């Protein structure tokens, strides 16, 4: 299918041409006509499928023909609500790129950054507003945002908004918009609670399911390492030294864990940066830009901070901690092998995480390959025999090369 067939206006098609988009992705092919027909839709699509453009393009198209002139004062007619600042920035960048040759204006508001510039921007008027829930409600309360003219409401990464406790805010925002609006709900996973939310706010929605979450990203080479918890940092260093090349995102469950690993990697002269919820917006953006621009090649992140972020050419994902929610595994490994490329996903599983691996394998319906040849096996029986043999060169009191090196390392 060609973009032309989706009946998009010339200025939009021109912007797509400049971005080298040759044809619509599957989610775009299915969602764009439904959105242009003003239907409510629920889209279940994995990250990297082109879902942002799947709603951004028809929204721009719908607004294109009836845009307000800046003189008359722009009324905000489309609102996109998403859970994290990084995602909001990325969505706004997408809207701006696709609307380059139109007069449509995109605004962006998110928490954790100064509110004054956002107020100034809102005073000038925007056609499309991208927002995280808390800051949106705050600015609405202060009368800087008027939602009375919203024609299309997008809830992006709806499942994560529920996970992050935004459900009440999302419902509040929905009620502040006119009841006859069009609502588009995008969610990588469709847990029961998202379905419930959808049922309560969408009217006769059309369902678009492109790649179920259970289908792990194609082209990802998945490898499992069983390793004792205290040895995970050593295993990371071992793999970074010997196996892994190129850019790497390492996922950790906690902010503390992210900071700790970052310090260790920096002390070992790796070019690493990190993002998590306790870092200021500017530091997070800096870390992200450094990674995108190749200043660093390792990014350590918590799931919440990394969700939905579009970073091209990630060669390897490391699941330093195994996620306890199986879908999170699919999201994480979806950061690599984007847009048809291939990539590696390495998972470090300690004894207490074996149950999570079982659930993940069930969800993706695949047994992940287990790499047994590494220096830190979980089960000591699998350690190289040579350590136990009498008369072997590893005599008592004599240190192996590996253990000598170990002493010099920092962690
Ligand atoms: P998303 O799933 O929205 O995060 O998009 C993933 C990546 O695909 C982004 O880098 C988009 O710029 C890119 N993309 C979206 N639509 C297309 C398309 N039709 N052709 C090529 N790349 C696309």
pLDDT (tens digit per residue) in 215-229: 555 678 999 999 999
Number of C-beta neighbours around residue 336 at 10 A = 26
CB 12 within 8 Å of CB 64: yes
Q: What is the pLDDT of residue 408?
A: 33
* Cβ of 56 less than 6 Å from ligand 1: no
CA of 96 to the centre of ligand 1 (A): 14
pLDDT (average), residues 110-136: 95
Q: What is the pLDDT of residue 193?
A: 83
Is the C-alpha dihedral spanning 84, 27, 46, 207 positive or negative?
positive
Q: H helices of 99-153, where?
A: 115-124, 133-141
Q: What is the pLDDT of residue 329?
A: 87
* Cβ of 307 less than 6 Å from ligand 1: no
Higher pLDDT, 303 or 401: 303
**Smallest Cα–Cα separation from 348: which of 254, 222, 214, 219?**
222
Q: Does the reported pTM lie above 0.85?
A: no
CA of 65 to the centre of ligand 1 (A): 25
pLDDT (average), residues 88-104: 95
pLDDT digits (tens, 9 = 90+) for 311-360: 777 899 999 999 988 878 887 887 776 555 578 999 999 999 999 999 99
CATH topology of domain 3-209: Rossmann fold (3.40.50)
CA of 310 to the centre of ligand 1 (A): 9
pLDDT (average), residues 108-126: 94
**Does residue 58 carry a pLDDT above 90?**
yes
Q: What is the pLDDT of residue 402?
A: 41
* Cβ of 232 less than 6 Å from ligand 1: no
Atom of ligand 1 nearest to the CA of 49: 2
* Cβ of 54 less than 6 Å from ligand 1: no
Q: What's the order of all strands across the beta sheet hosting 206-209? A: 106-109, 128-131, 78-81, 152-155, 182-187, 41-44, 206-209
Atom of ligand 1 nearest to the CA of 47: 2
The domain covering 220-402 belongs, at the CATH homologous superfamily level, to P-loop containing nucleotide triphosphate hydrolases (3.40.50.300)
Q: Give the three-state DSSP class for 251.
A: strand
Q: Cα–Cα distances in Å, from 353 out to 30, 62, 116, 249, 341?
A: 38, 48, 45, 20, 29
**Does residue 407 carry a pLDDT above 80?**
no
- Which helix (H) or strand (E) is 240 found in, with range? helix 232-242
**Does residue 164 carry a pLDDT above 60?**
yes
* Cβ of 48 less than 6 Å from ligand 1: yes
Is the C-alpha dihedral spanning 30, 31, 37, 42 positive or negative?
positive
Cα 70 to chain centroid, rounded: 34
CB 215 within 8 Å of CB 329: no
pLDDT digits (tens, 9 = 90+) for 276-302: 878 887 888 899 999 999 999 999 998
CA of 161 to the centre of ligand 1 (A): 22
pLDDT (average), residues 231-249: 94
Q: What is the pLDDT of residue 411?
A: 29
**Distance between CA 214 and CA 204 in Å, rounded?**
26
Q: What is the mean pLDDT of the chain?
A: 85
380 pLDDT band (50/70/90 cuts)?
low
Q: What is the pLDDT of residue 76?
A: 96
Looking at the chain, the domain(s) classified CATH 3.40.50.300 span 3-209, 220-402
Higher pLDDT, 235 or 190: 235
The protein residue whose alpha carbon is closest to atom 10 in ligand 1 is 310
Atom of ligand 1 nearest to the CA of 94: 12
Ramachandran region of residue 185, left (φ > 0), alpha (ψ -120 to 50) or beta?
A: beta
Percent of the chain with pLDDT over 70: 85
pLDDT (average), residues 81-107: 94
pLDDT (average), residues 12-17: 93
**Does residue 403 carry a pLDDT above 80?**
no
The protein residue whose alpha carbon is closest to atom 8 in ligand 1 is 50
CB 51 within 8 Å of CB 41: no
CB 157 within 8 Å of CB 87: yes
């Amino acid at each position: 299918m060609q973009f032309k067939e989706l009946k998009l206006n010339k200025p939009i098609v021109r912007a797509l041409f400049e971005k080298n988009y040759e044809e619509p992705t599957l989610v775009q092919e299915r969602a764009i006509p439904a959105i242009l027909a003003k239907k409510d839709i629920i889209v279940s699509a994995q990250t990297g499928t082109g879902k942002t453009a799947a709603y951004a393009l028809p929204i721009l198209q719908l607004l294109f023909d009836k845009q307000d002139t800046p003189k008359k004062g722009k009324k905000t007619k489309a609102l996109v609500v998403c859970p994290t600042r990084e995602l909001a920035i990325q969505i706004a960048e997408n809207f701006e790129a696709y609307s380059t040759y139109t007069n449509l204006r995109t605004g962006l508001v998110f928490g954790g950054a100064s509110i004054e510039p956002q107020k100034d921007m809102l005073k000038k008027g925007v056609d499309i507003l991208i927002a995280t829930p808390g800051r949106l409600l705050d600015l609405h309360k202060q009368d800087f945002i008027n939602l009375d003219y919203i024609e299309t409401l997008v809830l992006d990464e709806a499942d994560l908004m529920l996970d992050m406790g935004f459900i009440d805010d999302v419902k509040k925002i929905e009620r502040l918009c006119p009841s006859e609006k069009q609502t588009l709900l995008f969610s990588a996973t469709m847990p029961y609670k998202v379905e419930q939310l959808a049922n309560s706010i969408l009217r006769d929605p059309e369902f678009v399911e492109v790649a179920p979450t259970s289908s792990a990203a194609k082209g990802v080479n998945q490898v499992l390492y069983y390793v004792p918890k205290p040895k995970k940092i050593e295993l990371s260093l071992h793999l970074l030294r010997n196996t892994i090349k190129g850019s790497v995102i390492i996922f950790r469950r906690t902010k503390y864990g992210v900071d700790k690993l970052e310090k260790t990697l920096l002390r070992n002269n790796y070019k690493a940066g990190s993002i998590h919820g306790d870092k200021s917006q500017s530091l997070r953006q800096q870390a992200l830009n450094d990674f995108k621009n190749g200043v660093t090649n390792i990014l350590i992140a918590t799931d919440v901070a990394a969700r939905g972020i579009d970073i091209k050419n990630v060669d390897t994902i490391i699941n330093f901690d195994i996620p306890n929610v199986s879908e999170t595994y699919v999201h994480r490994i979806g950061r690599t092998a984007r847009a048809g490329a291939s990539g590696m996903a390495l998972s470090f599983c300690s004894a207490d995480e074996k149950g999570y691996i079982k659930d993940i394998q069930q969800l993706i319906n695949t047994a992940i390959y287990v790499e047994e040849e590494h220096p830190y096996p979980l089960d000591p029986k699998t350690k190289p025999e040579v350590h136990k043999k009498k008369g072997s060169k590893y005599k008592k009191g004599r240190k192996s090369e590996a253990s000598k090196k170990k002493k010099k390392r920092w962690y």
